[in-house]
């Protein structure tokens, strides 16, 4: 065979081989649904089914069933509620109305903080937890389910005799105050003097919500001007504000107080729809819900229950 014919045969063989390889690649990647770039050693800019990377400590809460409003609750039924101090007024209003509508029932409420409420449910010492933050993935994994109750605002508060007066703060100043980088009232437009920060304990749901909402997930400061309370109680905190203190509380607990004032944030007070520090309040139960839990939570979402909640605003 001549050299010319041999060269032509070689070229034809290479073209056929290339076509077979290209067709095999197309079938392997398209028909099998596999991205070569995702195989070990592959060079890929996108990934299929990437492993999730947690961005925060909370997860979407399980959806609670819509419990039917009760028409009859047996006399002798007891419901135990433990949890957030932010929901004391809501708990009390629902307790009074529930017991009045269903004679012989008892609703017992305690307010030891969000974390305490959750632990009480898990230990079987409470039927419902009142919480002021979302559940964590670890908590939902233990069968806990939330029922949204209402949206609330976290108010920044000072004593009514504080010379800071009606001047407001911007969000960056609030962060600086509670992180301990701004420690003098003159740094935020007030008269010279130490800013005395009254912080809630770490197990407080309001503390945890404040850390996420206000401090953007960062930690509170540890400077000498910051005092952390041993108990999660709003009234003692308000009493400590004096003329130079600043703290925070659920707005429903302070809006009627005569000895404290709320501080506007970015020109907005807690009543404003765009107020930046808003969070949801929840009731939590453990699956499966007991009859008394179903009755109480059914009442919460009934028109009568909603009216009782609205009366606390």
Q: pLDDT tens for residues 178-217?
A: 999 999 999 999 999 999 999 999 989 899 999 999 999 9
> Nearest 5 degrees, angle CA 129-CA 134-CA 137?
100
Whether residues 267 and 301 share a domain: the answer is no
Q: Hey, is 64 helix, strand or coil?
A: coil
Domain span at residue 216 reads 153-278
User: Tell me, what's the pLDDT at 249?
Assistant: 94
Element (H, E) at 291: helix 291-300
| Cis status, amide bond into 172, omega within 30 of 0 | no
| 56 is a domain residue | no
Task: Spell out the residues 6+ positions from residue 82 whose beta carbon is closer than 8 angstroms to its own.
Answer: 109, 110, 111, 112, 116, 117, 120, 121, 125, 126, 128, 129, 130
Whether residues 127 and 234 share a domain: the answer is no
| 43 is a domain residue | no
Judged against a pLDDT cut of 70, whether residue 48 lies above it is answered with no
What secondary structure, in 3-state letters, does 121-189 show? HHCCCCCEEEECCCCCHHHHCCCEEEEEEEEEEEEEEEECCCCCCCCCECHHHHHHHHHCCCCEHHHHC
Whether residues 158 and 103 share a domain: the answer is no
Whether residues 272 and 288 share a domain: the answer is no
Judged against a pLDDT cut of 90, whether residue 52 lies above it is answered with no
| 21 is a domain residue | no
Whether residues 160 and 300 share a domain: the answer is no
* pTM, 2 dp: 0.67
User: Tell me, what's the pLDDT at 65?
Assistant: 62
User: Tell me, what's the pLDDT at 45?
Assistant: 34
User: Tell me, what's the pLDDT at 91?
Assistant: 96
Judged against a pLDDT cut of 60, whether residue 18 lies above it is answered with no
Whether residues 218 and 291 share a domain: the answer is no
81: left (phi over 0), alpha (psi -120 to 50) or beta: beta
Judged against a pLDDT cut of 50, whether residue 43 lies above it is answered with no
């Amino acid at each position: 065979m001549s050299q010319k014919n041999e060269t032509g045969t070689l070229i034809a063989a290479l073209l056929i081989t290339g076509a077979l390889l290209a067709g095999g690649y197309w079938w392997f990647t398209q028909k099998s649904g596999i991205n070569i770039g995702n195989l070990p050693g592959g060079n890929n800019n996108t990934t299929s089914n990437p492993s999730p990377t947690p961005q925060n400590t909370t997860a979407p809460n399980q959806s609670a069933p819509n419990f039917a409003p009760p028409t009859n609750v047996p006399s002798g039924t007891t419901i135990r509620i433990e949890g957030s101090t932010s929901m004391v007024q809501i708990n009390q209003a629902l307790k009074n109305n529930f017991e009045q509508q269903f004679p012989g029932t008892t609703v017992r409420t305690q307010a030891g903080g969000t974390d305490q409420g959750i632990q009480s449910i898990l230990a079987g010492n409470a039927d419902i937890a009142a919480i002021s933050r979302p559940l964590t993935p670890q908590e939902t994994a233990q069968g806990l389910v939330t029922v949204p109750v209402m949206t609330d605002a976290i108010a920044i508060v000072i004593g009514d005799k504080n010379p800071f007066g009606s001047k407001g703060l911007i969000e960056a100043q609030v962060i600086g105050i509670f992180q301990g980088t701004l420690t003098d009232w003159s740094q935020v437009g007030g008269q010279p003097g130490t800013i005395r920060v009254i912080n809630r304990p770490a197990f407080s749901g309001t503390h945890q919500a404040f850390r996420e909402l206000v401090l953007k997930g960062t930690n509170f400061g540890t400077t000498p001007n910051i005092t952390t309370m041993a108990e999660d109680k709003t009234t003692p905190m308000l009493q400590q504000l004096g003329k130079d203190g600043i703290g925070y509380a659920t707005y429903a607990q302070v809006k009627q107080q005569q000895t404290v004032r709320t501080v506007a944030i970015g020109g907005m007070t807690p009543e404003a729809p765009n107020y930046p520090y808003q969070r949801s309040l929840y009731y939590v139960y453990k699956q499966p819900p007991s009859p008394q839990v179903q009755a109480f939570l059914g009442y919460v979402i009934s028109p009568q229950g909603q009216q009782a909640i609205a009366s606390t605003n």
